Chain A
């Protein structure tokens, strides 16, 4: 039933010339869940997200978001979604606050009774720890700050479905942890999140459901436990545990408090 799933994809295909990027993708994403779409570079993750976000038309197949067909009712889909692309889509010339106010105006928050654009912007700046930098041009922001602003912009107007396309690619570990926290906060508020990633660890950390996209098809789809059950049985090896550069970084900068410790000498 449409009400159970925020996103439904059936037999979706997309080719660029001779290159078949999607060869029949099936996927269902439960309302309020975090689903990780895992795949290597070029697996078609971004293509799938762009189709779901109504930026690209599929060749065949059906995709619905929030009950609306992406090809038939794109305007209704756009009411239900927000997209955070692979490269932080923020306006570098404007300040952080101006970026948020801009999107708040375009989402008509005031007419929808969600507050004045300026108030919405202030609340999000506070929530994402950007208040101090609010009136600086985004061009001066660090990568992590940009990505946080980008995600904050995606939350304006409380869209029920949020697409995050490789939200942590190119971020340092501290910034990555900040983004992870932001995603968890989102899902805790009932938002459905579909995020794409190349990293199994990211999927493990965040997702209720993991779908692996490979050569244009979803080859594995299930909960973390179900996906793990498919892995070859663990063999126990004893390895001297060297701290990873990441652990050293987090220890030295003192930024690791509360962050999940990455496994250095795990079982393989």
Chain B
């Protein structure tokens, strides 16, 4: 019980950081919104995806980019705590060892959820018309939360090991670029052989396809199971490596 109360106290602290510097949310949202505007209003006219609304086609990939951009701040916040010495202060207190880490993870979930809602709001203004039922939306929220949790634990790794603030957040760049080589922006069928093979077998395509089906109100195909498997896989690897690194800090 006290472990939960302590983690809640620490989460309240880092959420207060976000409230006091809301610019982290704004900069998180800025890049995905810029991509949304660029692809819908500049490049979208030349992209044929076989549906009438490109913004509806595009949004799932943009949400993945939003999550990647948001968790890079998690790595940055963790790194800052480590550098400032306050992490050591927490570790020398009689509280659960993993509490300070979990506080960052929970804060990341909240901050990412706020960013996702903002990006979806912009998409609605741009003509995104989902056909999803309440149940579909719950499934969408579930997949997005699971992906956020998985990428957050992945972000803890550079947060604990980086030696500069830039290094802590740089790990997100490949994550932000990965959707470009997936079904997020254009159908994979338009890509040349090896690129197409990569695009069809990397996690973003499965996640984006599952989200796209759910948002369109269609029953998601096998993509949803592949997507969940990827999320759980990344989560397990991220969690195991991050907690091992955390323990080794005191070796």
Contact = CB atoms under 8 A, between A and B. Distances in A.
B250 A55 contact: yes
Contacts of A85: 85, 88-89
A224 interface: no
Interface residues of B, number: 22
B144 interface: no
B13 A87 contact: no
B86 interface: yes
A55 B88 contact: yes
A75 interface: yes
A81 B13 contact: no
Interface residues of A, number: 31
Given A103-B93, A107-B93, A83 B88 contact: yes
Contact of A82 (B2, B10, B92): B92
B79 to A, nearest CB: 14
Given A55-B92, A102-B9, A106-B93, A91 B251 contact: no
Nearest to A52: B92
B21 interface: yes
A105 to B, nearest CB: 5
Contacts, number: 67
B153 to A, nearest CB: 23
Contacts of A94: 13, 16
B94 A107 contact: yes
A92 interface: yes
A53 B2 CA distance: 21
Contact of B92 (A53, A87, A105, A137): A53
Nearest to A53: B92
B94 A57 contact: no
Interface string A71-85: 000010011011101
A56 B250 contact: yes
B89 A153 contact: yes
B230 interface: no
B6 interface: yes
A90 B92 contact: no
Contacts of A153: 89
Interface in B67-107: 84-86, 88-95
Nearest to B248: A57
B129 interface: no
Contacts of B84: 87, 89-92
Contact of B91 (A55, A86, A137): A55
A93 B21 contact: yes
Interface in B234-251: 250-251
A88 interface: yes
B16 A93 contact: yes
A198 interface: no
Interface string A218-259: 000000000000000000000000000000000000000000
Contacts of A108: 2
A174 interface: no
Nearest to A78: B94
Nearest to B89: A89
B90 A106 contact: yes
A54 interface: yes
B92 A81 contact: yes
A83 B13 contact: no
Nearest to B17: A93
B29 to A, nearest CB: 21
B94 A102 contact: no
Contacts of B9: 102, 105-106
A78 B94 CA distance: 5
A57 B251 contact: yes
Contacts of B88: 50, 53, 55, 83, 85, 89
Interface of A: 50, 53-57, 75, 78-79, 81-83, 85-94, 98, 102-103, 105-108, 137, 153
Given A54-B91, A54-B250, A106-B10, 9 more contacts: A50-B88, A82-B92, A85-B88, A87-B84, A87-B85, A89-B85, A89-B89, A103-B89, A108-B2
30 contacts: A53-B88, A54-B91, A54-B92, A55-B91, A55-B92, A56-B250, A56-B251, A57-B251, A75-B94, A79-B94, A83-B92, A85-B85, A86-B85, A87-B84, A88-B85, A89-B84, A89-B85, A89-B88, A90-B86, A93-B21, A94-B13, A94-B16, A102-B9, A102-B13, A105-B9, A106-B9, A106-B10, A106-B90, A106-B93, A137-B20
